[in-house]
Structure formats: C-alpha cells, structure tokens
Homo-oligomer: A and B are copies of this chain.
Amino acid sequence: MNYKSFITNVPDFPVDGIQFKDITPLLDDEEAFHSAVDDMAEYAKEIHANKIIGPDARGFIFGASVAYATKLGFVPVRKPGKLPRETLEIEYDLEYGTNKLCIHKDDIGKADKVIIIDDLLATGGTVKASIDLVERAGAEVVGLAFLIELTGLNGKENIKGYPYKSLLKY
C-alpha cells in the first residue's frame, strides 16, 4: 500500500524548522491502518519475536495493535511517574529536548525476544533508550519496526546491529 498518501506534512511543528509527519490521516483510514499493522505483525513473526514493546505515547498505537494481531503480550515503555511498580529508568536526548523513559522491572526477562515498535525513527534516541531498558531487564531485542523513517536524521546509526523494518521513508 502507498502509505505516503496518508501522511500529512506539517511545517514548523512543534518548533520552527521541523517538518512534522502527521500520521493521524493514516490511523483514521481503516484500510491503511489495518494494512500497516499487518505489515508490522508479519515482520514480528519473521524475526520470531515473542513480546511487543511500545514507547509512550504513539508507540502504544502500533505496538498494542501488533500485539493483538500477533497474539503476543504488550509491554509499555513510559514516561516517569506513570508505571506504579518498580521500574528501570533511562534519560536520553530527543530530536528536540530531552526525555526520560521507564519500564517495569519484572515485565520482561531472559526468555523474551522483543520487538520494539514505534511510529517514527528520527534520530533514534527513543528507540535506543528503549533497547537499553529491554537489555538491562535481561531480555533480547530481536528487531524494531517503524511506520516512518526520516533517513536524513540518520537514526540508523543509533540502532546499528539491530534488524529493523520501516514501512515508509522520507
């Protein structure tokens, strides 16, 4: 499917100079959303993932849907103060600003082969932080999937050595 026709470019959002890729028209289209989740689910099966991880908040949209489609469990990576039990925590740089992410210490472990799913691979900061959390929890990252890859920001460098799939590239 030509996913690009469902992505709206919004200039200067959230700050001047950023060309924001708005995915809401794709989510809003039942065929396009369904097909994107199916493509990610197929990839998750190919790499034999047995657990799906999605970072707060847009990673929940594709992560949880792929978990449903593959009939696997879903583990959220969240901002501080959101997960109520004991967490592992990491701070990292964003495309604009900094961020902190957490995972429940006992949500994943040695038996887990994890795929991390997010809507966007930009600089790769969020997914690299998620990889670090997963590995500190003792699980293995077998792959990554993104709806969009912004190739100009070279996020690839941040996730060297990890197989990944992006459904569309700019």
With a cutoff of 8 Å between Cβ atoms, the chain B residues found around residue A155 in the complex are: none
Within 8 A of B (CB), among A30-56: 30, 33-34, 37, 51, 56
Q: State A71–B30 Cα separation when bound (angstroms).
A: 6
The proximity string for A residues 7-49 relative to B, scoring 1 for CB distances below 8 Å and 0 otherwise, is 0101001100000101010011110011001000000000000
Within 8 A of B (CB), among A53-68: 56-58, 60-62, 64-65, 67-68
A contact face: mostly helix, strand, loop, or mixed:
mixed
With known contacts A33-B68, A60-B57, A67-B33, A74–B13 Cβ distance under 8 A: no
The proximity string for A residues 149-161 relative to B, scoring 1 for CB distances below 8 Å and 0 otherwise, is 0000000000000
